[in-house]
Structure 1
Amino acid sequence: MALATAAGTRPPLREVAGVPLPATTVDNWSQIQGFEAQPDDLLICTYPKSGTTWIQEIVDMIEQGGDVERCQRVTIQHRHPFLDWARPPQPSGSTYLQRPVLSTHSEGVDRAAAMPSPRVLRTHLPTQLLPPSFWENNCKFLYVARNAKDCMVSYFHFQRMNQTLPDPGTWEEYFETSVSGKVAWGSWFEHVKGWWEIRKKFQVLFLFYEDIKRNPKQEIQKVMQFMGKNLDGPVLDRIVQETSFEKMKANPMTNHSSAPKWILDQSISPFMRKGTVGDWKNHFTVAQKERFDEIYKQKMEGTSIHFCTEL
């Protein structure tokens, strides 16, 4: 089922089991579902705009033992294959995605399959849509959750500049689209609840964006232990420093500055915009806040998860 776009010029979303997804992802659904996970895979799982690039850089820095030069070997989008990604039709001569891939293939799955073990992969998929082989192989999952209000604001600006997703329209329009879960990868509520509920049944390290912001060293240590790595204090301090928002925003290997305008138009909004906690206050009206809080209460009833919305 196709979902209408606000502008009509960008590709519409389509649905799999009631979850809206980019059309190219749906076109490659059987290949994504058939993906063969391996027992030593680490899958980074996030709802969009919850700190995906941030946790990727943290994981890579740990993997490379804090070696900054090794982390500059290639841009972040090419280090950890994005399983959901199938490229949109591209203008001739574009090099951002490096090599021609048949339109019937998920580039993320192809890249992952070609990668030596142990692999670090990533996805935005909710638990119910994850390829079954991840559960069957008891893989490790690293989930980062961000408070719903800041996530919505960040996603709004991301959709404004991301030419592969529907135009979000005005903030007022987007607010309605978002609370009804009609955005790519579906409802924030369902996504976060799904991962929270399975966190003790599988090897899941569940982190909060706000905690990483508040105490990066402590949270990075958790990731390091989860990955089975043991790095000394000075290396850990370097990782904290190198993965700060300011460093990553200025780093061409992490800020997606090499992305062409037909994918990410950073003249509209930068890929790495603010990276703060509490920016929602600059967007939500009083009426929107009250309405959102009511919806949040209903949707999250019965769950023990607790978010911080300001630091």
Structure 2
Amino acid sequence: MAKNNVLPFPYEFKELEPEEQELVDQNFQSMPSSYVRVGPKGYVLCKTYMKEAANIYNMPVRPTDVFVVTYQRSGTTWTQELVWLVANDLNYEKAAEIPLPQRYPFLDCFMFFEQDGKERYIKNLEATQPDFDKEKFLELFNMLNTPVTPMLAAVPPTETRFIKTHLPMSLLPPNILDTAKVVYVARDPRDVAVSCYHHAKLFRILGNVGSFKEFWNVFLKNLCM
């Protein structure tokens, strides 16, 4: 272990191959243009993840922490609600009062909203949404692209921290399973692919214009964000 108990991030980052980047750009026209593969398994993440990778890997984990860890479109939201209600004595009134994102900080949300990709988002939204409010979007964007690790560190030790993430387990703190409570959700990849496709179509900010066949090709190559 390094000085001050800070571990070096153990995995290498590699740029996508040109043909891989082209495939991503064709299918997600508004997403940030820079992606990297991480570690020996080649997980594809937004390049902005690199700036926070070591902080997440070294995030102090508490025995009272509750993590919901999933691949996207695998039942994350309902799992979050179920876990939170069980941990809070089925307090439906409080659950209704506090939005889910406030109860569960999204550990890796920031990487989807890099500053360099902001104009691409705006251009696509202006072209597809007549009532697009640029000022409100920028306010939301600046909130979402801020890493939540400092906020999590500020939570009093007496409070339970509920944390959502789509990151692979190997990129999370090494002591997470020995220290915190972790709910890991997996789903049939075929169902995940269909759900990811419709999610990309629904959220115009992603700029997905391809067919499902084209999307399936991206998914199989592990290029789906």
Pairwise same-fold verdict (TM > 0.5): yes
Whether the aligned pair in 2 keeps the contact of 1:61 and 1:71 (CA below 8 Å) is yes
Q: 2:43 — aligned with what?
A: 19
* 3-state SS of paired residue (1:45): strand
Change (3 A) 1:157 1:111: farther
Whether the aligned pair in 1 keeps the contact of 2:197 and 2:215 (CA below 8 Å) is yes
The structural deviation recorded for 1:36 is 1.4
**Is 1:125 the equivalent of 2:177?**
no
Q: 2:69 — aligned with what?
A: 45
Paired residue type of 1:183? C
Paired residue type of 1:77? P
Aligned pair partner of 1:76 in 87, 94, 100: 100
Query: In structure 2, what is the Cα distance between the partners aligned to 1:166 and 1:130?
Result: 29
Aligned pair partner of 2:219 in 178, 192, 209: 178
CA shift digits 1:80-119 (9 cap, x unpaired): 1111121624654448759x5596x51x323322333322
Whether the aligned pair in 2 keeps the contact of 1:16 and 1:26 (CA below 8 Å) is no
The structural deviation recorded for 1:63 is 2.5
Q: 2:80 — aligned with what?
A: 56
Q: Where in structure 1 are there 5+ consecutive unaligned residues?
A: 185-311
- Choose between structure 1 and 2: higher helix proportion: 2
Whether the aligned pair in 2 keeps the contact of 1:11 and 1:166 (CA below 8 Å) is no
Number of residues paired by the alignment? 180
* 3-state SS of paired residue (1:5): helix
Query: In structure 2, what is the Cα distance between the partners aligned to 1:47 and 1:121?
Result: 14
CA shift digits 1:265-297 (9 cap, x unpaired): xxxxxxxxxxxxxxxxxxxxxxxxxxxxxxxxx
Whether the aligned pair in 1 keeps the contact of 2:30 and 2:206 (CA below 8 Å) is no
Whether the aligned pair in 2 keeps the contact of 1:10 and 1:167 (CA below 8 Å) is no
The structural deviation recorded for 1:148 is 1.6
Query: In structure 1, what is the Cα distance between the partners aligned to 2:38 and 2:181?
Result: 25
* 3-state SS of paired residue (2:107): coil
Paired residue type of 2:38? V
**Is 1:155 the equivalent of 2:196?**
yes
Query: In structure 1, what is the Cα distance between the partners aligned to 2:206 and 2:49?
Result: 12
* 3-state SS of paired residue (1:43): strand
Change (3 A) 1:96 1:60: farther
* 3-state SS of paired residue (1:69): helix
State the Cα RMSD in Å. 2.8
CA shift digits 1:12-70 (9 cap, x unpaired): 33322221113333342232222111122111111110100001111122223222210
Runs of 4+ in 1 over 6 A off after TM superposition: none
Give identity over the alignment, percent.
Answer: 28
The structural deviation recorded for 1:179 is 1.6
Whether the aligned pair in 1 keeps the contact of 2:67 and 2:162 (CA below 8 Å) is yes
Whether the aligned pair in 1 keeps the contact of 2:104 and 2:164 (CA below 8 Å) is yes
* 3-state SS of paired residue (2:82): helix
Change (3 A) 1:109 1:127: same
Query: In structure 2, what is the Cα distance between the partners aligned to 1:133 and 1:175?
Result: 35
Query: In structure 2, what is the Cα distance between the partners aligned to 1:164 and 1:125?
Result: 21
The structural deviation recorded for 1:126 is 1.4
Paired residue type of 1:39? P
